Structure 1
Amino acid sequence: MFNPKLKAIKLCDQEYVRYSKQLILNKINIEGQKRIKNFKILIIGVGGLGSPTAIYLVTSGIGYIGLIDGDKIEISNLNRQIIYQEREVNTLKVRTAKKKLHEINSRCKIITHTHNLNQSNSKEIIRYYDMVIDTTDNFATRYLINETCYGLNKPYIYGAAEQFIGQVGLFNYQDGINYSNLYPRYLDLKTHNCDLNGVIGISTGYVGILQANEAIKAIIGIKNQLNNKVLFCNLINTELKTKTIYSYKASNNNKIYNKNSVKKLKTTSSENTNRKLQKQIDLFLLVDLKSYNEFKKKRINKSINIPLVAFKLHKTLNFLKKQAEKKKLYITCETLHKSIIVASILENNLIRNYYVIREK
């Protein structure tokens, strides 16, 4: 609850001592600590992101934490899921995590759900909590969380990590953006596997702590939040960047699927792509995102070359906006990753008259 009756919430003497270093912070103080104590948070997935998120929320004094995860601990989890130990392999994650978290802070009430979130249980579980923290690793569950939280008017904090990079966002908060604005459904990512590229535990730990931080900020009412923004972190380059994400809705005639869909063009060669597109050459602009050297080696006739590194430039976007007023834009990408980036850039800059052709 974001606006509890603070007079009814009491801190005991032990809590005043335990949280004394927080209580002297102007942005928290006694009022903020009462809000933290009264809050109910559901963490979906107690893995690489969920472990540090849960640990830091418990230490901060969150009153109620729900844990939902149907998996058992595996030896391959231990490089990043820091709440578990070798002797606990093959035990249920939520039960083991509950025991550990209770040892850290016995005043925090831990509620466990020993199954995975699905269509039949999502509303029943999520409605009990004030906020959801999404620490899952697959698109299907993320879309389910997004839909359920939107329907129940629950804010949630999204996190994702792979290799040395990560993302954090605050969704469905004060009529702000939701997950579908970051990764629209037409990208068809439900079957995309997030585990293929690997991850180091430092990345998941970093993102998990950022998620816990955003939760605390929202609870105590700090205005400098990630509302309508997503934070991107790169631990190799030691970079933190925020990007504004714009909300948009499909029209009643499903225009977003008919005209703006990211489609995978099934071709056997660039020549096949070329034949299909040359028929209406005056009605569209074909943009190839290959690097300059690759474009010279494998070019589709009548296409222009705008490498991905130049795609976000103000000059490029102005050019594409003018072209999109009179032509359809066809943008060829080599990979799913580039398709997602390009679609996001175009949508966020209100360029809608496009197709992204994914070659792989």
Structure 2
Amino acid sequence: MTLSDEQLERYARHLILKGVGVRGQKRLLAAKVLIIGAGGLGSPVALYLAAAGVGTIGIVDDDVVDVSNLQRQVIHDDDRVGMPKTESAKLSINRLNPDVKVNVHRTLFTADNAADIIAGYDLVVDATDNFAAKFLINDACVLAGKPFIHGGVVRFAGQLMTYVPGEGPCYRCIFREMPAAGEVPTCREAGVLGAAVGVIGSLQAVEAVKMITGAGDLLTARMLTVDLLTMNIRTVPLPGHEPDCPVCGDHPTITTLEPDNYIQPACAV
């Protein structure tokens, strides 16, 4: 692949960046990233990956833009209220970088379609806000041997970790089962600071760029936690791969995606 004159100019700051350079930029241009959720987390992920020159971005979401989304979902705007979020995201991505190919998946991410949707991508970004979706993303990616980047936010706090097959624990190794209904408040119930999802989503985009280019150290076997009220940012070591994990363990009991195990719809923050 030879970079065009326009690409040399557009990505000039990457090309002189140790850890990216021409080789890394070519990897970005060839990469295919799936973002599940076109909301608060998905917005900065999609925009920064598009700006970085990721060649193909897939967006999964079945919702439409609502005025209440605009406090945090910066990929959308007031003129697009009522538009499918996937279409709105595609417009913003291509307005920023018209060379990016955007695949629109206007659907819920479910146990029935998960394997087919992720099959065409190199890595997956979890930009959802409910536990059923997060466990489904984890299980689908583990079974398919796909890396993914987890992110979650509520109120003023967030967390993220990266799963790479064969390196460190998966999400289910750490959080074995979904919490009972009502045990953990959702963003709808507890609220969320718009800028907080911007911080975590931007960090997810950084992890994706690092994974694609090979720069730096990924958050494998580590979880980054952020408390924006106190500005306390920590990297917490995680236990290694759990031999008894039901999906990635030595004797897995989850070998297929059963719809009854993921009863909440997958929606964006």
Quickly name the TM-score band, shorter chain normalised.
0.7 to 0.9
Alignment partner of 1:112 is 2:104:
yes
2:266 paired residue number? none
2:155 paired residue number? 163
2:72 paired residue number? 80
2:171 paired residue number? 179
Aligned AA (1:121):
N
CA deviation after TM superposition for structure 1 residue 251, in Å = 8.2
1:95 paired residue number? 87
Alignment partner of 1:250 is 2:244:
yes
Secondary structure (helix, strand or coil) at the match of 1:78 reads helix
Cα distance in 2 for residues equivalent to 1:170 and 1:29: 23
TM-score, scaled relative to structure 1: 0.65
Aligned AA (2:57):
I
2:263 paired residue number? none
Secondary structure (helix, strand or coil) at the match of 2:22 reads helix
1:231 paired residue number? 224
Work out whether residues 61 and 105 of structure 2, in 8 Å CA contact, stay in contact via their aligned partners in 1.
yes
CA deviation after TM superposition for structure 1 residue 188, in Å = 4.6
2:190 paired residue number? 197
Work out whether residues 156 and 173 of structure 1, in 8 Å CA contact, stay in contact via their aligned partners in 2.
no
List gaps (5 residues or longer) in structure 2.
Answer: 247-269
What are the superposed Cα offsets for residues 194-215 of structure 1, whole Å, 9 maximum, x if unpaired?
Answer: 2221101110000000000011
Which deviates the most, 53-62 or 223-232?
223-232
What are the superposed Cα offsets for residues 245-298 of structure 1, whole Å, 9 maximum, x if unpaired?
Answer: 11323389xxxxxxxxxxxxxxxxxxxxxxxxxxxxxxxxxxxxxxxxxxxxxx
Alignment partner of 1:55 is 2:47:
yes
Work out whether residues 166 and 203 of structure 1, in 8 Å CA contact, stay in contact via their aligned partners in 2.
yes
Aligned AA (2:90):
K
1:320 paired residue number? none
2:140 to 126, 134, 148: 148
Alignment partner of 1:212 is 2:205:
yes
Work out whether residues 138 and 190 of structure 1, in 8 Å CA contact, stay in contact via their aligned partners in 2.
no
Number of aligned residue pairs: 244
Secondary structure (helix, strand or coil) at the match of 1:47 reads coil
Cα distance in 1 for residues equivalent to 2:178 and 2:44: 32
Secondary structure (helix, strand or coil) at the match of 1:91 reads coil
Secondary structure (helix, strand or coil) at the match of 2:102 reads strand
Q: Alpha carbons of 1:112 and 1:193: their partners in 2 closer, same or farther (altered >3 Å)?
A: farther
Secondary structure (helix, strand or coil) at the match of 2:136 reads helix
2:60 paired residue number? 68
CA deviation after TM superposition for structure 1 residue 80, in Å = 0.2
Work out whether residues 221 and 238 of structure 2, in 8 Å CA contact, stay in contact via their aligned partners in 1.
yes
Alignment partner of 1:136 is 2:128:
yes
TM-score, scaled relative to structure 2: 0.87
CA deviation after TM superposition for structure 1 residue 190, in Å = 9.5
What are the superposed Cα offsets for residues 176-234 of structure 1, whole Å, 9 maximum, x if unpaired?
Answer: 21111221117456985522211011100000000000111111112421111110011
2:113 paired residue number? 121
Aligned AA (2:207):
E
Aligned AA (2:119):
R
1:44 paired residue number? 36
Alignment of 1:281-296 (within 5 A): none
Cα distance in 2 for residues equivalent to 1:132 and 1:194: 22
Secondary structure (helix, strand or coil) at the match of 2:71 reads coil
2:9 paired residue number? 17
Secondary structure (helix, strand or coil) at the match of 2:233 reads strand
Q: Which structure exhibits the higher relative contact order, with contacts defined as CA atoms closer than 8 Å and separated by 6 or more residues?
A: 2
List gaps (5 residues or longer) in structure 1.
Answer: 1-8, 253-360
Backbone CA RMSD of aligned residues: 1.7
CA deviation after TM superposition for structure 1 residue 109, in Å = 0.4
CA deviation after TM superposition for structure 1 residue 23, in Å = 0.4
What are the superposed Cα offsets for residues 109-151 of structure 1, whole Å, 9 maximum, x if unpaired?
Answer: 0000011100110000001100000000000011111111001
Aligned-residue sequence identity (percent) comes to: 35
What are the superposed Cα offsets for residues 16-46 of structure 1, whole Å, 9 maximum, x if unpaired?
Answer: 1110011001111100100111100000000
Work out whether residues 53 and 208 of structure 1, in 8 Å CA contact, stay in contact via their aligned partners in 2.
yes
Cα distance in 1 for residues equivalent to 2:8 and 2:175: 43
